A and B are shown apart, each in its own frame.
Chain A
Amino acid sequence: MSKKILTVDDSASMRQMVLFTLQGAGYEVVQACDGVEALEWARQSAVDLVLTDVHMPRMDGITLVRELRGLLNYKFVPMLILTTESSQEKKMDGKRAGATGWIVKPFNPPQLLATVARVL
């Protein structure tokens, strides 16, 4: 059974790129366009990994991670935030909120797959 990944990003082109890359590597992918949508979905279903962008409308990625950690199903799910190289702060915010780690933007498909393979 293939691993299921929840990806959250408000940019359609990024979502498509991530979807294409992960599906191409055999993962099952579920997508949301912001934190609110992701959280609502997560309340009903479980995944093996969460990948989320940070800057999104309605609910940002760091808040999403914090909220997800409060769900029983998501207590030990690896979560990675997508952050830019200059936000050391964001990385720490992410950790404090409960993120496992991060992927630095911009990333290309091989980098994405490599990092995902680390935690799955």
Chain B
Amino acid sequence: MTVDLEMAEIAKVFFQESREGLDVMESGLLSLGATADSENINTIFRAAHSIKGGSATFGFAEVAGFTHGVETLLDEMRNGVRPVTAEAIQTLLQACDCLREMITATEAEQPLDQVRIASLNGDIKHILGEATEAPAPVSAPAPAEANRAADIGGASEPSGWRVRFEPVADLLRLRNEPTRMFAELRRLGPMVAHADASRLPPLDALDPESCYLSWNIDITGQIPRGKLDEIFDWVDSGCRLEFTPNGGSAPAAPGAKASAPPQAAAIDAWSAETKAVSPTEAKTAAPADADRGAPAGAPMQKASGDSGSIRVATEKVDNIINLVGELLITQSMLSSFADGIDPNDLDRLRQGLSQLARNTRELQESVMQIRMLPISFAFNRFPRIVHDLSRKLAKKVELKLSGEGTELDKTVLEKISDPLVHLVRNALDHGLEIPERRVAAGKHETGTLELAAFHEGGNIIIEVRDDGAGLNKAKILQKARERALVAPDQELTDEQIDNLIFMPGFSTAEQISDVSGRGVGMDVVRRNINDLGGHVQISSREGLGSTIRIRLPLTLAILDGQLVRVGKEIYVISLLAIVETIQVARERVNTLVGRTEVFRLRDEYLPVVKLCDQFGIEPDSRSAEDGLLVVLEADGKRVGVLVDDLLAQQQVVIKSLESNFKSVAGIAGATILGDGTVALIIDAPGLISSAAKQGVGAVAARAA
């Protein structure tokens, strides 16, 4: 039972290992298209080989059987017997997908998709040039030694054998001891061995490491030939072996192996039991329940796709431990001061405190680092997506990734992944042209799609660039006017027109393909990015291409904020949401429909949001021109928020209001300032959209 449990534990390692192996195979296959590099093919082959071996060992016969076909194909490719065609690569990629599913299903003890497996098996066999077999379950690796075990002719087994064994001189060098073979023979039945020293040279010519002896062995008993073959299995090629059944005539050909199916002979401990191995067969084993040392290699942690755990580089953790140590030292130094301060110590106290502040800041940064992961986790999906999609759309695309090592918070990473996929699919579907049109436009037939990530001013910037056809500004403007998203006489800059595509329900695609174009994509993308506290904008040049620029905060737990004062209350507004702050001039403020005021900022009218009214506080002054207007933007809409005063800009730690109190409209969270006061963090997008709902004014057409 212990053995079973242990095997099941080790099988978990196998599952993780196989997933990693499949990733290796996939990325290898994707780059195989470009260059049939032998090192690459070998790497792919080895990955498949490992999966096959492991799955068979741990008893997953169907996985093993399926992988066998994949491995065979890869083997032929690496031996140069089979050409590396696009069709073959595509089939292998699909086989990888299928294997992933099989591994997941096997791990979860769910049934496998037999239809898919059979279909892909058919594809593989087709490529291998074999006829498709009947739809039987995939075959486990064929039994080995059992194949060779057979009696030669005769209905009855011989009553004994004479074996002539003439080993090669090298036998001993390979550590194949004749004595071992004799011992095994003896176990089959009484035997006598006569040594033949005729080839023994004189002493001075004798090489002690060579074997010069031969033997004639007589063994009696009803012994199937297969058992004899078994014993000499490792040495029969090269050595001269003759088996003569007693009562039989001519000696059998040396090392002849009948290919007849195995007899129903009892299989002794030596013969390899090669039907699909399962962990339960281990019950027949007699290993001692001896203490074993800790198995090599800790169980794998899951990759970051599962939010329950994170893989962390050890040095990051060590760094934290180190910093905490420093912190404790500083802190205990300060405590011992507390035991009797005199004014002269004040300076040293200040120094200690500033050191404490430094340690804490560094510690905090290190801890934040733990949650940071490189964006390659998100980027890694794209070679496959681009490969498949470009095939489907019959477009030629080269994908370039840069800045894959740029790190960002794990949650931000997880949430930006799907929007990125949408943007990439969009670029491929609508941005990049088919090869003929590209050539006609004087471009190279292969389009370029670039994904780049880099840090800039405390944020992470992700750019999706394509050198396709760019946005058709005229069409977009027309559509926007049709949908009354833009007033007929309203004039927009090029940039404003481009960013209209982020409006809900917007799509200029002639046909809505199943790839994209239903018009529900881009606005959801922008909303998701805004929810993360980020920005997205597009800029495009017709005929030349488009660039989508996403700006995201590095972390969701800390905010770069602008402190503002309204009356006695202090609020924090995210710097990312602030466009500018202005002093209000009376003549620019108009009152509409009674209460609501709008402010004319250059060429647009901004609704004025009075926080005093929103939150019910007593301000210094209710009149707009006495205060400052902070212009906020989210989701393409803008408002001006009226505050009494601007205070400092600083980083604040976001504390959840919802988990400590309850959710409040217009408030994203709270923080504790240096002097201990609680400051509420304004939810800019929320405030803006609720102001819009209150009918406070026209929607701004420009997104930044």
List residues of A whose CB falls within 8 A of some B CB.
Answer: 10-17, 19-21, 23-26, 31, 53, 55-57, 69, 75-79, 84-86, 92, 95, 98-102, 104-111, 113-115, 118-119
Contact status of A20 and B295, CB under 8 A, knowing A10-B50, A26-B290, A57-B46? yes
In the complex, what distance in Å separates the CA atom of A17 from the CA atom of B270?
20
Range, interface on chain B: 35 or more
Chain B min CB distance to A50 (Å):
10
Other-chain residue from A76, A77, A99, A114 in contact with B270 (beta carbon distance below 8 A) = A114
At the interface, yes or no: B508 with Cβ under 8 Å from chain A?
A: no
Q: Which residues of A contact B64 (CB under 8 A)?
A: 106
Contact with A along B230-274 (1 / 0, CB 8 A): 000110011000000000000000000000000000000110111
At the interface, yes or no: B11 with Cβ under 8 Å from chain A?
A: yes
B172 x A76 contact (CB < 8 A) = yes
In the complex, what distance in Å separates the CA atom of A16 from the CA atom of B141?
22
B46 x A10 contact (CB < 8 A) = yes
Contact status of A13 and B141, CB under 8 A, knowing A23-B293, A24-B287, A102-B234? no
* Chain A to chain B contacts (Cβ below 8 Å), 9 pairs: A11-B17, A16-B13, A24-B292, A76-B173, A95-B238, A99-B174, A108-B282, A110-B281, A118-B180
Chain A min CB distance to B174 (Å):
5
A31 x B141 contact (CB < 8 A) = no
A85 x B142 contact (CB < 8 A) = yes
Other-chain residue from A20, A55, A110 in contact with B6 (beta carbon distance below 8 A) = A20
Q: Which residues of A contact B172 (CB under 8 A)?
A: 76
In the complex, what distance in Å separates the CA atom of A55 from the CA atom of B174?
21
At the interface, yes or no: B377 with Cβ under 8 Å from chain A?
A: no
The 10 closest A-B pairs by CB, nearest first: A101-B234, A106-B56, A85-B144, A13-B14, A110-B285, A78-B175, A13-B13, A24-B287, A23-B292, A108-B277
B39 and chain A: residue at smallest CB distance: A57
In the complex, what distance in Å separates the CA atom of A99 from the CA atom of B173?
9
In the complex, what distance in Å separates the CA atom of A17 from the CA atom of B292?
12
Contact with A along B289-330 (1 / 0, CB 8 A): 110110111000000000000000000000000000000000
Other-chain residue from A14, A26, A114, A118 in contact with B54 (beta carbon distance below 8 A) = A14
Chain A min CB distance to B383 (Å):
22
Q: Which residues of A contact B13 (CB under 8 A)?
A: 12-13, 16
Other-chain residue from B53, B270, B272, B285 in contact with A14 (beta carbon distance below 8 A) = B53
In the complex, what distance in Å separates the CA atom of A53 from the CA atom of B287?
23
At the interface, yes or no: B49 with Cβ under 8 Å from chain A?
A: yes
Q: Which residues of A contact B233 (CB under 8 A)?
A: 101
A111 x B290 contact (CB < 8 A) = no
Q: Which residues of B contact A107 (CB under 8 A)?
A: 57, 272, 277
Not counting A17-B10, A98-B173, A108-B285, a sample of 15 additional A-B residue pairs whose C-beta atoms are within 8 angstroms of each other reads A15-B296, A17-B57, A20-B7, A23-B290, A25-B288, A55-B45, A55-B46, A69-B173, A85-B142, A85-B274, A95-B238, A104-B145, A106-B277, A109-B3, A110-B286
Contact status of A113 and B285, CB under 8 A, knowing A55-B46, A84-B141? yes
B175 x A76 contact (CB < 8 A) = yes
In the complex, what distance in Å separates the CA atom of A117 from the CA atom of B145?
18
At the interface, yes or no: B614 with Cβ under 8 Å from chain A?
A: no
A109 x B173 contact (CB < 8 A) = no
Q: Which residues of A contact B238 (CB under 8 A)?
A: 95
A106 and chain B: residue at smallest CB distance: B56
In the complex, what distance in Å separates the CA atom of A11 from the CA atom of B619?
69
Q: Which residues of A contact B290 (CB under 8 A)?
A: 23-26
B53 x A84 contact (CB < 8 A) = yes
Chain B min CB distance to A81 (Å):
11
In the complex, what distance in Å separates the CA atom of A68 from the CA atom of B290?
31
Contact status of A24 and B289, CB under 8 A, knowing A104-B272, A107-B272, A108-B281? yes
Chain B min CB distance to A56 (Å):
7
At the interface, yes or no: B454 with Cβ under 8 Å from chain A?
A: no
A85 x B143 contact (CB < 8 A) = yes
A49 and chain B: residue at smallest CB distance: B175
Contact with A along B597-609 (1 / 0, CB 8 A): 0000000000000
Chain A min CB distance to B633 (Å):
51
